[in-house]
Structure 1
Amino acid sequence: MGSSPSKAVRTLPKEKSSWAGSRTPFKQDSAQEIRRPRPLAFENKTDAVEADAKDPQFMSKLSQLGPVRVDHHMRSVRPADYVQQMYRSRLQSEVEALPSHSTQNRLLASSLSELLESRKTVKSQAELQALAGQYHIDVTKLDELAKFINTPSIDESTIVRSKNQDGEETLTMMASLSVFY
């Protein structure tokens, strides 16, 4: 396709044809007709064209609307301010999420799940205070939270192992919720 042997060679005629370079005779009269300027549109406007250009319905609708009212008390929107505020908000969230700078009583969902799971094994008030201190959360907030939210516990007696036709093992178990007051 791209190589030269597969392409057909184009040959040009060696002699000039009899009609090459010949032209039809030029008439002077036709040249003057072509060069004469054409009349512009406004030169030919008639009363019918003028009447058609006027739109009485459009003018009546415009007069019904009345003049445009501009509210000069509108606050201008500055996209740069919005973007800067969004950037500051995200930066603050990232700083608060850093492990070295943890905020009191704020946890990620995964940390909250770990905390609530660890709370189930606590036996004394001292252990509870130590656990709350480890996660930077107040004991009173932890107690309030535990009234409404808890992680599911697995009932060990309900664990069932089964294999399907492909030999894949599935594990099924019942969850039980412990309520602490």
Structure 2
Amino acid sequence: MGSSASKTARTLPKEKSSWAGARTPLKQDSAQEIRRPRPLAFENKTDAVEADGKDPQFMSKLSQLGPVRVDHHMRSVRPVRNLVLDSSQADYVQQMHRSRLQSEVEALPSHSTQNRLLASSLSELLEARKTVKSQAELQALAEQYHIDVTQLDKLAKFINTPSIDESTIVRSTNQDGEETLTMMASWVTQNLKP
């Protein structure tokens, strides 16, 4: 503390020292390494590439498996063209071929399939069926999905989509702060007006 006159003023030197700005000379080889970027790929495998490619866990697992055991008494599979089928096998192969052709024809968009639905379409149909109020609406829904009303009624006796009972929803939070919902599913049937 005290007056500023009692403190010595800091003075900087007027001339540069002989060591100011001097650097240690680098070896010529190390200077070139710094300027040159490391290549991303090598023509030949270097020791660094070999070391990088080694996976000790993989090698230990391979050594645990041991050598491959080959069963030299296995039968080779003959090509189909050399295979001789008895009549029942030939009938089976022809039936399988016909059913695949039929499936391909039915899968064409131009071909209308009656009473055949994909699982996703069936789920949509059963969900939409819950909101139907009259027999006329049910008929229109069945026509939209290319299904007979009688087939839809038979199907709905045994298959339905889950509906949530709103009064049973329970929200809970675990110790990590994650919220979970638990609810009861119920079977919903519609009562159609004639």
Q: Percent identity?
A: 91
Shift of 1:12: 76
Higher mean C-alpha deviation, range 99-108 or range 80-89:
80-89
**Which stretches in structure 2 are left out of the alignment for 5+ residues?**
80-89
User: Cα deviations across residues 124-154 of structure 1 (Å, max 9, x unaligned)?
Assistant: 1111111000110011111122222222211
Shift of 1:11: 75
User: For the aligned residues, what is the CA RMSD?
Assistant: 16.8
What's the TM-score, normalizing by structure 2? 0.44
Shift of 1:91: 3.1
Q: 1:15 to 1:159 in 2, by over 3 A?
A: closer
User: How many residue pairs were aligned?
Assistant: 180
Distance 1:3 1:90 in 2: 106
Structure-to-structure mapping, 1:149-164, within 5 angstroms: 149-164=159-174
Higher relative contact order at CA 8 Å, sep ≥6: structure 1 or structure 2?
2
Distance 1:91 1:7 in 2: 105
Distance 2:138 2:44 in 1: 98
Q: Secondary structure at the match of 1:179?
A: coil
Q: For the Cα contact (< 8 Å) 2:169–2:182, is it kept in 1?
A: yes
Q: 1:9 to 1:65 in 2, by over 3 A?
A: farther
Shift of 1:71: 34
Q: 1:46 to 1:68 in 2, by over 3 A?
A: closer
Structure-to-structure mapping, 1:60-139, within 5 angstroms: 83=93, 85-139=95-149
Q: For the Cα contact (< 8 Å) 1:115–1:135, is it kept in 2?
A: yes
- Runs of 4+ deviating beyond 6 Å: 1-81, 178-181
Q: 1:78 to 1:143 in 2, by over 3 A?
A: farther
Q: For the Cα contact (< 8 Å) 1:119–1:128, is it kept in 2?
A: yes
**Which stretches in structure 1 are left out of the alignment for 5+ residues?**
none
Distance 2:16 2:27 in 1: 27
Q: 1:127 to 1:14 in 2, by over 3 A?
A: closer
Distance 1:164 1:55 in 2: 40
Q: Secondary structure at the match of 1:99?
A: coil
Shift of 1:123: 0.7
Q: 1:72 to 1:8 in 2, by over 3 A?
A: farther
